[in-house]
């Protein structure tokens, strides 16, 4: 990778991060303009509590990025899961987005040790255990 390529990728990442931040600010502003009743209806439509909706928006668009990586590390096909158990995947995304153990999860994903350790901290572990078949363990 040349210096120019590296600079370009850093610039792209910074630009994307800034765009994500702006989008999150816009979403927060839009949510702030809803009445309590409207906000409650949005949360109900999404099948989550208003408090969880507020927290999910505060977490930003990449709050559940770890989940597909974890599923892949465990040999679970996320696309197939989305077709077969869409509500389970939706709930797992919510749980992941609200997770307070992102640092530990990210370290394990980077080290390739998620399969050995995720059950110790991942709130999705019981759901994952229910999804895994003996063939995929």
Q: Report CA-CA distances (Å) from 33 to 36, 45, 46, 75, 96.
A: 9, 18, 18, 42, 27
pLDDT at 79: 94
Q: Where are the domains of the chain?
A: 3-59, 66-136
Model confidence at 137, pLDDT cuts 50, 70, 90, reads very low
* Residue that wins the pLDDT comparison between 53 and 2: 53
The model's confidence at residue 19, banded by pLDDT at 50, 70 and 90, is confident
**Higher-pLDDT residue of 97, 23:** 97
Task: Using alpha carbons, select from 133, 51, 47 the residue that is nearest to residue 84.
Answer: 133
The pTM for the full model equals 0.69
Query: Does residue 113 or residue 56 have the better pLDDT?
Result: 113
Averaged confidence pLDDT in the chain: 85
Q: Which residue has the higher pLDDT, 63 or 107?
A: 107
Tokens of residue 79, six digits: 């696309």
- Cβ pair 31, 57 in contact under 8 A: yes
The average pLDDT across 54-64 equals 83
Whole-number pLDDT of residue 110: 96
pLDDT surpassing 80 at residue 112? yes
């Amino acid at each position: 990778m040349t210096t120019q390529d590296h600079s370009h990728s850093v610039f792209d990442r910074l630009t994307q991060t800034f765009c994500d931040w702006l989008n999150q600010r816009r979403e927060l502003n839009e949510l702030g303009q809803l009445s309590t009743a409207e906000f409650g209806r949005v949360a109900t439509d999404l099948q989550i509590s208003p408090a969880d909706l507020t927290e999910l928006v505060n977490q930003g668009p990449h709050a559940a990025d770890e989940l597909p990586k974890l599923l892949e590390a465990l040999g679970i096909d996320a696309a197939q899961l989305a077709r077969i158990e869409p509500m389970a995947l939706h709930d797992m995304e919510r749980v992941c987005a609200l997770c307070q153990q992102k640092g530990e999860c990210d370290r394990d994903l980077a080290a390739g040790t998620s399969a050995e350790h995720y059950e110790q901290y991942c709130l999705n572990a019981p759901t994952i255990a229910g999804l895994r078949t003996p063939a995929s363990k």
